[in-house]
Chains A and B, each alone.
Chain A
């Protein structure tokens, strides 16, 4: 064993474990954070599963004979079924029947369904029946495909009950209130999976990186005492703050672009697999944000980034060194991670009111919410989010600028020193 290693190890452990920042950041926070994250994941999956269990489906019965009644009875044993007779799916969608019955799934039993079944059972096994399935695409997230999986399972169950492969499903999607024939909801949700994952993760990493950069930048200035020099120079102190924020944004932006390129390449390989044979074109389906959507998303991301950076600057002003600043910034991370993870799995609109309010109150949720909203053409949600985050950012920026305009940027550290001095009753220079 290395001579003196044990001695150094004991010293290091004592020093680290006695540092309250490390104790909080490395031990207590994870003990709180991981259970919280676990609860969020569990809640998301439970919530999606619960939604699937409570799922309802609107059935348009254009057949009206025995077999269609049997099919509806079979569906009714698993899900809540609302039946409408003799109408077209397009009419049902445009007349708001889906909203009326609070469902996102629609099955049409076409005319001739029972007749085909009868012919099949009469010996003509080449004849089969089919139902048409339509699912509303809401951009909810990873668990979006659960509804269509459920219908597939039900039809498979019906086939097992009657005869193998007697009923087929022709699946289509309802996107932004329009039926897109032949666009399989499952394939679509697989294709959109990369977006559902990529945006929250990218935003989470972008914010985390930026906050680290800003906090390190201020803490380095304090540690090296270059901040003291800057504050005595003939310049506007707000320029120091803005310079730091802008520098962090630029570096973080470059990092984000690099990350996006790499991540998209990575996710692209899955997208290619998902779209193989499906020939789905997201542009023609309207599932790529418009120019206005991109602008709103960019603004949302920018103001959120600015507020996160300003917060990092304020927090790092409380720290004496880089390590302290990074520990302090770490306390904000749960507010970045929880919305990102939650919104990867669920649609914010399906959450209970208290969760919804909490999620909207966290400014870092808004770029993720905006990214989904603009994809679905919901510009109001993105716009209102921008207004809220801008107001929050202005408050934080004001606090940060006040901090730089006064001696507090230095005295907060001095107060810590003073505290330590009192503890040690030493007579060091303040």
Chain B
């Protein structure tokens, strides 16, 4: 898998983002290889979600550059949107649409072909594993079911880059496991690059090829999970996190 990392899926150079007087990102620099699962970890307010939102063209950088597959997220935003999918943290679905209708609605933005739309939705149905419940309205879904639906939506289009903000947030052990397996399988089968953020260190350790530890808008440590553990003499990423970020 690492052999496919020669081409950068994401290049972030000296990225800053200010919200009024608050500096959310401070000269953040990152490079994500193609076909990788790249994890951003850090405390609340570190700048993870802001980074994901800029990469997904939702927010504009205050300065610095961000490129996705060589396309600038500001200048080529429309082109970038064609090759990415974004899953916001704690996102919902349309309450009065069924899961199936929601997936169809989303698929139609990716293709005009009815056949391809149907194939995409079938794919998503397989990913989320909701079965007949897909015919029910989303408002009747549990949080776990909703999250599985949304992860399926983000992956069904087989994007070049899937940006997943806390993909297993609020899920129980079984659902989290299921979602992680899906992500792994998709990267392997379809060469999708995944940029995700997570608070779950176990998840990051098992899922990600590469990890960046973000604190106060900067990357303070970066590497493969094993490299980071070795570097900081820690048994797991949680210990690395505590050593690097501390309790400040």
Interface set of A (CB-CB < 8 Å, partner B):
220, 223-226, 228-229, 231-235, 406-407, 410-411, 414-415, 418, 421-422, 426-430
Q: Please determine whether A235 and B59 come into contact, CB atoms closer than 8 angstroms.
A: no
Q: Please determine whether A224 and B91 come into contact, CB atoms closer than 8 angstroms.
A: yes
Complex contacts, B110 vs chain A, CB 8 Å: 234
Q: B58 in the interface, Cβ–Cβ < 8 Å?
A: yes
Contacts A234-B78, A418-B22, A422-B22 given; does A229 touch B49 at CB 8 Å: no
* Assembly CA distance A333 to B85 (angstroms): 39
Known: A223-B92, A429-B46. 5 other contacts (CB 8 A): A225-B88, A225-B89, A233-B109, A410-B58, A414-B19
Interface set of B (CB-CB < 8 Å, partner A):
19-20, 22, 24, 43-50, 53, 56-60, 78, 81-82, 84-95, 106, 109-110, 153
Contacts A234-B109, A407-B60 given; does A228 touch B19 at CB 8 Å: no
Q: Please determine whether A232 and B93 come into contact, CB atoms closer than 8 angstroms.
A: no
How close is B224's CB to chain A, nearest CB, in angstroms? 25
Q: Please determine whether A228 and B50 come into contact, CB atoms closer than 8 angstroms.
A: no
The 9 closest A-B pairs by CB, nearest first: A224-B92, A427-B45, A225-B91, A232-B86, A225-B88, A234-B82, A228-B88, A234-B81, A233-B109
Partner of A228 from the list B22, B86, B153 (CB cut-off 8 Å) is: B86
Q: Please determine whether A229 and B59 come into contact, CB atoms closer than 8 angstroms.
A: no
Contacts A226-B94, A407-B58 given; does A428 touch B88 at CB 8 Å: no
Partner of A415 from the list B19, B81, B153 (CB cut-off 8 Å) is: B19
How close is B213's CB to chain A, nearest CB, in angstroms? 15
How close is A318's CB to chain B, nearest CB, in angstroms? 15
* Assembly CA distance A428 to B47 (angstroms): 9
Q: Please determine whether B49 and A430 come into contact, CB atoms closer than 8 angstroms.
A: yes
Complex contacts, B88 vs chain A, CB 8 Å: 225, 228-229
Complex contacts, B87 vs chain A, CB 8 Å: 229
Partner of B20 from the list A220, A235, A415 (CB cut-off 8 Å) is: A415
Identity of the chain B residue whose Cβ is nearest the Cβ of A223 in the assembled complex: B92
Partner of B93 from the list A226, A233, A422 (CB cut-off 8 Å) is: A226
How close is B120's CB to chain A, nearest CB, in angstroms? 13
Contacts A228-B91, A229-B88, A232-B86 given; does A411 touch B19 at CB 8 Å: yes
Q: Please determine whether A427 and B43 come into contact, CB atoms closer than 8 angstroms.
A: yes
* Assembly CA distance A426 to B22 (angstroms): 12
How close is B84's CB to chain A, nearest CB, in angstroms? 7
* Majority secondary structure, B binding face: loop
Partner of B44 from the list A233, A414, A415, A427 (CB cut-off 8 Å) is: A427
Identity of the chain B residue whose Cβ is nearest the Cβ of A224 in the assembled complex: B92
Contacts A228-B86, A234-B78 given; does A430 touch B45 at CB 8 Å: yes
Q: Please determine whether A418 and B20 come into contact, CB atoms closer than 8 angstroms.
A: yes
* Assembly CA distance A226 to B84 (angstroms): 16
Q: Please determine whether B90 and A225 come into contact, CB atoms closer than 8 angstroms.
A: yes
* Assembly CA distance A228 to B86 (angstroms): 8
* Assembly CA distance A225 to B88 (angstroms): 7
Complex contacts, A228 vs chain B, CB 8 Å: 53, 58, 86, 88, 91
Identity of the chain A residue whose Cβ is nearest the Cβ of B163 in the assembled complex: A232
* Assembly CA distance A228 to B164 (angstroms): 12
* Assembly CA distance A427 to B88 (angstroms): 19
Q: Please determine whether A231 and B45 come into contact, CB atoms closer than 8 angstroms.
A: no
Q: Please determine whether A232 and B58 come into contact, CB atoms closer than 8 angstroms.
A: yes
Q: Please determine whether B22 and A429 come into contact, CB atoms closer than 8 angstroms.
A: no
Q: Please determine whether A229 and B45 come into contact, CB atoms closer than 8 angstroms.
A: no
Q: Please determine whether A235 and B60 come into contact, CB atoms closer than 8 angstroms.
A: no
Contacts A232-B84, A234-B82, A421-B22 given; does A226 touch B91 at CB 8 Å: yes
Complex contacts, B58 vs chain A, CB 8 Å: 228, 231-232, 407, 410
Q: Please determine whether A428 and B45 come into contact, CB atoms closer than 8 angstroms.
A: yes
Among A421, A426, A427, chain B packs the most CB atoms within 10 A around the CB of A427
How close is A74's CB to chain B, nearest CB, in angstroms? 70
Contacts A228-B58, A228-B88, A407-B59 given; does A235 touch B22 at CB 8 Å: no
Partner of A430 from the list B22, B57, B89, B92 (CB cut-off 8 Å) is: B22
* Assembly CA distance A376 to B84 (angstroms): 58
- 21 pairs, A vs B, C-beta closer than 8 Å: A223-B92, A225-B89, A228-B53, A228-B88, A229-B86, A229-B87, A229-B91, A232-B84, A407-B59, A410-B58, A411-B19, A415-B19, A418-B20, A421-B45, A426-B45, A427-B45, A428-B45, A429-B46, A430-B24, A430-B45, A430-B50
Complex contacts, A421 vs chain B, CB 8 Å: 22, 45
* Assembly CA distance A226 to B109 (angstroms): 14
* Assembly CA distance A356 to B90 (angstroms): 51
Complex contacts, B59 vs chain A, CB 8 Å: 407, 410-411
* Assembly CA distance A360 to B9 (angstroms): 57
Q: Please determine whether A233 and B24 come into contact, CB atoms closer than 8 angstroms.
A: no
Q: Please determine whether A232 and B81 come into contact, CB atoms closer than 8 angstroms.
A: yes
Partner of B85 from the list A224, A232, A410, A427 (CB cut-off 8 Å) is: A232
